[in-house]
Amino acid sequence: MSHDRFYITTPIYYVNADPHVGHAYTTIMADIFARHHRQREDDVFFLTGTDEHGAKIARAAEAAGRSPKAHADELSSRFRDLGRVLNASNDFFIRTTDPEHIAEVQRLLSVMHDRGDIYRDSYGGWYCTPCEAFYVEGELAPGNCCPIHGTPVEWLEEDNWFFRLSAYRERLLAYFDEHPGWVVPTARYNEARRMIDDGLEDLSISRSQISWGVPVPWDPDQVIYVWVDALFNYWTALTYGAGADGDRFWPPTLQLMAKDILKFHAVIWPALLMAADIPLPQRLAVHGYVLKGGEKMSKTTGNLVDPFPFIEDYGIDALRYYLSREIRFGEDGTFSAEGFDARYTGELANELGNLLNRTVNMIERYRGGVVPADGGADTQLSAEVGARTSEILAAYDHADVTRAVEAAWVLVRALNRLVEQRAPWVLAKDPDQAAALDQVLFSLAAGLKSVLVLLWPVIPESAERALAALGQDPTAVLMTDASFGHGVAGTTVHAVPPLFPRVEGRPE
Ligand code: MSP
CB within 8 Å of 74: residues ≥ 6 apart: 66
Name which of 212, 54, 194 is nearest 133 in CA terms: 54
Cis peptide before 185, with omega less than 30 degrees from 0? yes
Mean pLDDT value across residues 455-469: 98
Q: Furthest-apart CA pair in the chain: how many Å?
A: 90
Q: What is the pLDDT of residue 210?
A: 87
Residue 1 pLDDT exceeds 60: no
Q: Pick the catalytic residue: 101, 287, 296, 449?
A: 296
pTM listed for this prediction: 0.96
How does pLDDT run across 133-181, given as a tens digit for each residue? 889 888 899 999 999 888 999 998 889 999 999 999 999 999 999 999 9
* CA-closest residue to ligand 1 atom 19: 257
Q: What is the pLDDT of residue 237?
A: 98
Q: Pick the catalytic residue: 145, 179, 263, 299?
A: 299
Q: How does DSSP assign 285-312, residue by residue?
A: EEE-PEEETTEE--TTTT----HHHHHH
- Give the separation between CA 181 and CA 162, rounded to whole angstroms: 30
At residue 123 the predicted structure's pLDDT band, cuts being 50, 70 and 90, is: confident
Distance 23 CA to ligand 1 centre (A): 6
Percentage of the chain modeled with pLDDT above 70: 99
Q: Is the CB of 449 under 6 A from ligand 1?
A: no
Q: Is the CB of 135 under 6 A from ligand 1?
A: no
Q: Return the best residue to mutate from 13, 31, 324 for the ligand 1 pocket (most ligand atoms within 8 A of CB).
A: 13
Where in 219-268 does DSSP place strands (E)?
219-224, 254-258
Distance 495 CA to ligand 1 centre (A): 42
Q: What is the pLDDT of residue 2?
A: 58
Name which of 153, 117, 159 is nearest 136 in CA terms: 153
- Give the separation between CA 168 and CA 472, rounded to whole angstroms: 55
Q: For residue 233, which atom of ligand 1 is closest to its CA?
A: 6
Residue 315 pLDDT exceeds 70: yes
Distance 438 CA to ligand 1 centre (A): 51
Name which of 244, 497, 266, 484 is nearest 382 in CA terms: 484
Q: What is the pLDDT of residue 18?
A: 94
In CATH, the number for domain 339-482 is: 1.10.730.10
CATH of 5-305, one of 1.20.1740.10, 3.40.47.10, 3.20.10.10, 3.40.50.620: 3.40.50.620
How does pLDDT run across 346-367, given as a tens digit for each residue? 999 999 999 999 999 999 999 9
Name which of 87, 162, 148 is nearest 120 in CA terms: 162
How does pLDDT run across 215-245, given as a tens digit for each residue? 999 999 999 999 999 999 999 999 999 999 9
Where in 61-136 does DSSP place strands (E)?
92-95, 118-128, 133-135
Q: What is the pLDDT of residue 508?
A: 64
Residue 336 contacts residue 479 (beta carbons within 8 Å) = no
Residue 27 contacts residue 87 (beta carbons within 8 Å) = no
How does pLDDT run across 419-457, given as a tens digit for each residue? 999 999 999 999 999 999 999 999 999 999 999 999 999
- The domains of the chain are located at 5-305, 339-482
Mean pLDDT value across residues 304-313: 93
As a whole number, the mean pLDDT across the chain is 96
Q: How does DSSP assign 19-53, residue by residue?
A: --HHHHHHHHHHHHHHHHHHHTT-EEEEEEEEE--
Q: What separation in angstroms does the CA of 148 have from each of 53, 153, 289, 330?
A: 21, 11, 12, 18
How does pLDDT run across 276-289, given as a tens digit for each residue? 999 999 999 999 99
